Amino acid sequence: MPQASTLALVLSSSALNEQDKLVTLLTDGSGLLRAVAPGAAKIKNRFGSLLELFTEGEFHYYRREDRELATLAKGEIRKSFFPVVSAAENVFYFYLLAEIVLKTMQPEHRDTRMYNLLKAVLAGREQGLAMDWLLLYFLTWLLRGEGLLFNPRRCSNCGGGDLERAWLRSDYRGLLCSRCRTGERLQLDREELAYIHWTARHAPAEAGEWTGRFAPAELIRILTGKVEYHGEFTLQSRRYLPQFR
């Protein structure tokens, strides 16, 4: 009999051997769960499309004290996002989102914010919101939730406010005004700074209400670089997105 069950999103699924798959799930309240799905690598198996990327399901599993991995016993789909996740124009964005979560989130991290944020991004794409803006919103809130997002209204050196433009410090730990800048190259203009402040008061479903006018690619690169810098890793999936070419 299964020992536990959880609502979760599938972040990765890969062959473990000829018969089984290794699956990583983001649970709705207990962080990451790594588990073996017995028989899932077979053409005919009991899991079917349950293990597709970002499928939301109810998963039943059990653990043995002498094993690190849980074992999936069964599950059922609560919500399939396959049409939006697998679309050619979306799929590499979702690979990047999954990779970010896998590399930044600690196992057993009991916090629902990441789960809810990903669900909101998925719902936003279903509603037709642009994928690049949803990625930008995700990166902004990821850094904010980790306490790593810089204050878009203050110079981290002199404390000056009302920035018209700012430069990101080489250690990614704050912004500098024009007076404090000493050769930093990564620059944010007024619209980009205003957007970061705006996200603090607006949910992903409201992303289409942003009335500013700037191309999000540069800010996506900056925030992705900040995630990589603080995490001390390189995100492999980003090379497939147009913003990084």
What pLDDT is attached to residue 207? Answer: 82
- Token digits of residue 160: 């000056």
Average pLDDT over residues 193-219: 91
CA 190 to CA 213: how far, in whole Å?
Answer: 10
**Please, how many CA atoms are within 13 Å of residue 170, restricted to the half-sphere of its CB?**
6
Pairing of strands 56-62, 70-79: antiparallel
pLDDT in tens, 3-16: 899 999 999 999 99
Choose the CATH number for 4-80 among 2.40.50.700, 3.10.20.600, 3.20.20.60, 2.40.50.140: 2.40.50.140
- Does residue 2 register a pLDDT over 70? no
- Does residue 185 register a pLDDT over 70? yes
Helix axis angle, 91-104 to 217-231, nearest 10°: 30
More confident residue, 213 or 88: 88
Q: Can you give the pTM of this predicted structure?
A: 0.93
Torsion of CA 201, 224, 97, 190, to 10 degrees: 30
Average pLDDT over residues 65-92: 93
- Does residue 44 register a pLDDT over 90? no
Average pLDDT over residues 100-114: 85
- Token digits of residue 14: 């890969």
Tokens 């994928």 belong to 131
Q: Taking a C-beta distance cutoff of 8 angstroms, is the pair 178, 187 a contact? A: no
- Does residue 55 register a pLDDT over 90? yes
Ordered by start, the domain boundaries in the chain are 4-80, 86-244
Q: What mean pLDDT, rounded, does the chain reach?
A: 93
Kindly report the CATH number that applies to the domain delimited by 86-244. 1.20.1440.120
DSSP 160-195: -BS-SEEEE-TTSS-EE-TTT-SS---EEEHHHHHH
Supply the DSSP symbol for 202.
Answer: -
Contacts of 65 by beta carbon, 8 Å cutoff, 6+ apart: none
Q: Taking a C-beta distance cutoff of 8 angstroms, is the pair 61, 33 a contact? A: yes
